[in-house]
Amino acid sequence: MTDHHTYIERFRARVERFLKRHKMAASTFGRLAQNNSKFVHNMRAGRIPRPATMNEIDRFMVEYNAAQKRAA
C-alpha cells in the first residue's frame, strides 16, 4: 500500500468517524463542507478527492468540532 493510498484511507476514516460522532447524514456533511450533497457518496464509491479538497474538508471538521464544543 502506498503512502498516498494510506493517506486517502485515513481521510475517509476521519470523515466516517465525524459522521458517526455527530450523527450527521452524509448528504448534510457534503452540503455543509463542500456544497455538494453527493461528496461522501462519491467518495464511498471510490472517487478520490483532490488534496486541496481533503484539506478543506479537514478544516471544516476541525472548525465544526470547535463550534460544537463552544456550544456545549
Instruction: Write out pLDDT tens, residues 45-68.
Output: 999 999 999 999 999 999 999 999
| pLDDT more than 90, % of the chain | 88
pLDDT number for residue 72: 79
Question: Among candidates 46, 48, 40, which has minimal Cα distance to 8?
Answer: 48
Flag whether pLDDT at 15 surpasses 70.
yes
| pLDDT more than 70, % of the chain | 99
Flag whether pLDDT at 7 surpasses 60.
yes
Name every residue whose Cβ is closer than 8 Å to that of residue 48 and which is 6 or more positions away in sequence. Answer: 8
CA–CA dist 14, 8 (Å, integer): 10
pTM of the model: 0.90
